[in-house]
């Protein structure tokens, strides 16, 4: 603004200072609690251009605690529930309860109440994998029994006969004696599982039929020691709730495919459950159907581990700190026919270094195939 003489003056000289405005307001009396009255008095004394907003407008910010208190999306909950419900409705009818009679007891006849005729026997679960009545369960559930009582979810009680079992993988194949077709589930691809993926376990824990629990894949590639001492490879670890009686039941993915057979838990631990992968189950089923047992290659050796020195590692380009040594050789066995002697140190099978006796079982191919065995003979420092 310009004065009447046309001279430009500083902006603050054309209006009273803020302190002068406060003094003027003090002479008028105490301010009202009304914001409008306060603004009007400030405006009358200082002018609108000199006012600061008494309650500055700030952008609306949602409190983090308020955001956390918001309920989960109904659509997300429905999607999760629908997945589990669809899985149970598809695979649940194919999940059965198995009752094995104690030695010397009789198997419950068809139509008898569950548990009749089998006092002191074992109980477990199973899953039907073919419409003509073949089902998978655990070898420790079936045991040495040749017959057992199988209860379906629709209440039917059928007699099952053991086709074969494989203690090394804790799997058993049972055939149901039924005149017609039965509900069945499809074996999926366990190798496609990913850590964190949703899985559902169905079984009969502690006698509670058709119990469902859900969780995620915690890890893949675990190893468990079977009753015969062999390692079960590629075990799937989950956090689903399993209890005695869940053994032999299916582990199912979100596409309603069986990706594992529940086999073990760790007593005293929580949410540590293990399942034999469906890839192993498919191989075992094919062997049991074709031969009645699982064929495995063997070398005919008794071996032990022993530590090796750095000099040995450098001399034979062998990285592992321990090596496998043959302590006895079965006469006329595959290793004996190849020239392996007692005391030989086994370094590799087909170029794969041997770090333990378990790796021999893992690296052996199917029966009938030839392998190349690299070893060191103590009487001869050379590698042969």
Structure-block tokens of residue 198: 């949703």
DSSP string, 56-121: --------HHHHHTSPPPHHHHHHHHHHHHHHHHHHGGGEEEEEEPPTTPPPPPTTSPTTTT-TT-
Q: What is the CA 27 to chain-centroid distance, rounded?
A: 80
Q: Determine which one of 218, 247, 275, 278 is catalytic.
A: 247
Distance, in Å, from the CA atom of 57 to the CA atom of 73, rounded to the nearest integer, reads 32
CA–CA distance, 384 with 377 (Å, rounded to integer): 8
Please tell me the distance from the alpha carbon of residue 252 to that of residue 136, in angstroms, as a whole number.
14
- Tally of CB atoms within 10 A around 211: 20
Q: Please, what sign has the CA dihedral across residues 110, 113, 114, 119?
A: negative
> How far apart, in Å, do the first and last CA atoms of the chain sit?
105
Torsion over CA: 24, 26, 28, 30 (sign): positive
Q: Give the other-Cβ count within 10 Å of 45's Cβ.
A: 19
> Coil, strand or helix: which one is 366?
coil
Catalytic residue list contains 297: no
Annotation marks residue 81 as catalytic:
no
List 170, 213, 278, 316, catalytic entry: 170
Q: How far apart are CA 208 and CA 246, in angstroms?
A: 10
Residue 140 annotated to the active site: yes
Phi, psi of 51 (to 5 degrees): -80, 140
Q: Active site residue: 125, 137, 140, 275, which one?
A: 140
Distance CA 193, CA 361 (A): 24
Given a contact cutoff of 8 angstroms between Cβ atoms, the answer to whether 305 and 360 are in contact is no
Query: In 3D, which of 155, 160, 152, 159 has the Cα closest to residue 109?
Result: 159
Name the nearest CA neighbour of 384 among 352, 345, 353, 336: 345
Residues with catalytic annotation?
A: 140, 170, 247
């Amino acid at each position: 603004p310009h004065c009447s003489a046309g001279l430009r003056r500083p902006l603050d000289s054309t209006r009273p200072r803020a302190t002068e405005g406060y003094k003027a307001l003090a002479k008028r009396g105490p301010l009202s609690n009304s914001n409008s009255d306060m603004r009007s008095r400030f405006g009358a004394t200082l002018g609108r251009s000199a006012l600061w907003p008494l309650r500055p407008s700030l952008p609306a910010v949602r409190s983090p605690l308020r955001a956390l208190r918001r309920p989960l999306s109904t659509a997300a909950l429905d999607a999760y529930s629908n997945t589990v419900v669809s899985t149970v409705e598809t695979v649940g009818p194919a999940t059965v309860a198995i009752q094995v009679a104690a030695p010397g007891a009789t198997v419950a006849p068809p139509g008898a109440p569950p548990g009749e005729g089998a006092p002191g026997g074992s109980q477990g679960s199973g899953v039907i994998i073919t419409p003509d009545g073949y089902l998978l369960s655990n070898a420790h559930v079936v045991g040495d029994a040749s017959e057992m009582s199988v209860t379906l979810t629709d209440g039917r009680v059928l007699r099952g006969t053991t086709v074969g079992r494989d203690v090394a993988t804790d799997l058993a194949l049972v055939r149901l004696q039924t005149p017609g077709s039965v509900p069945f589930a499809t074996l999926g691809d366990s190798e496609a599982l990913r850590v964190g993926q949703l899985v559902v376990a169905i079984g009969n824990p502690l006698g509670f039929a058709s119990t469902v629990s859900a969780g995620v894949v915690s890890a893949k590639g675990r190893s468990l020691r079977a009753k015969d001492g062999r390692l079960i490879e590629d075990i799937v670890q989950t956090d689903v709730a399993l209890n005695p009686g869940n053994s032999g039941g299916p582990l199912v993915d979100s596409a309603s495919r069986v990706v594992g057979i529940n086999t073990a838990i760790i007593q005293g631990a929580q949410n540590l459950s293990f399942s034999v992968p469906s890839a192993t189950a498919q191989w075992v089923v094919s062997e049991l159907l074709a031969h009645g047992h699982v064929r495995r290659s063997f070398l005919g050796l008794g071996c032990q581990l022993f530590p090796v020195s750095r000099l040995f590692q450098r001399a034979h380009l062998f990285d592992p700190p321990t090596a496998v040594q043959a302590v006895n050789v079965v006469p006329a066995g595959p290793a004996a026919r190849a020239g392996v002697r007692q005391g030989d140190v086994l370094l590799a099978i087909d170029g794969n270094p041997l770090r333990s006796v378990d790796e021999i079982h893992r690296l052996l191919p199917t029966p009938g195939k030839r392998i190349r065995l690299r070893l060191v003979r103590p009487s001869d420092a050379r590698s042969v």
